[in-house]
Structure 1
Amino acid sequence: MTPEEKALLQAKHRLEAVQARDRKKERNARTRRLILEGAELEYVVPEVREMSREELRHFLSFHLQKHD
């Protein structure tokens, strides 16, 4: 492998590492946001703790529909 090829490969790996760190950072931010929003929902409507995901989806759909 020539020095130029080696340098190119190293640069590619550095870029991939930076992209992987960015993806992880975005995932962590999304996870934190979802946890905090879920906690707020449980605080406001404590009964959701006992609901299945399907029941929760139905509950939210019903209560968030626009009534004209």
Structure 2
Amino acid sequence: MADKRIMTPEEKALLQAKHRQEEAEARNRKKERDARTHRLVQDGAILESIVPHIKEMDLDSLKRELMIRLRGM
């Protein structure tokens, strides 16, 4: 059977601080993901407004189309 040891107040405080830090890091990662997702959606909307037929393109075709357009600039 596992030996159940009672945590000292210092150990408990350290564990709580560690959990708070992990929660803060998780919140920051979510904020970063949400910001990236928002940016990608906006960029995609702009791209679709400029090149409406991309909705029917696969990714390789889209890359080729963009490269052709960028070379023409």
Do they superpose with TM above 0.5?
yes
Runs of at least 4 residues of structure 1 off by over 6 A? none
Letter in 2 for 1:26: E
Corresponding position of 1:64: 70
Question: Identity, % of aligned pairs?
Answer: 57
TM-score normalised over the length of structure 1: 0.91
Give ranges in structure 2 of 5+ residues lacking alignment.
1-6
In the alignment of these two chains, the number of paired residues is 67
TM-score normalised over the length of structure 2: 0.85
Letter in 2 for 1:11: A
Give ranges in structure 1 of 5+ residues lacking alignment.
none
Could you say which structure has the larger radius of gyration? 2
RMSD between aligned residues: 1.3
Q: Which has the higher helix share?
A: 1
2-structure distance, mates of 1:15, 1:55: 44
Q: CA offset at residue 61 of structure 1?
A: 1.4
| 1:33 correspondence with 2:43 | no
1-structure distance, mates of 2:21, 2:71: 45
Letter in 1 for 2:56: E
Letter in 2 for 1:2: T
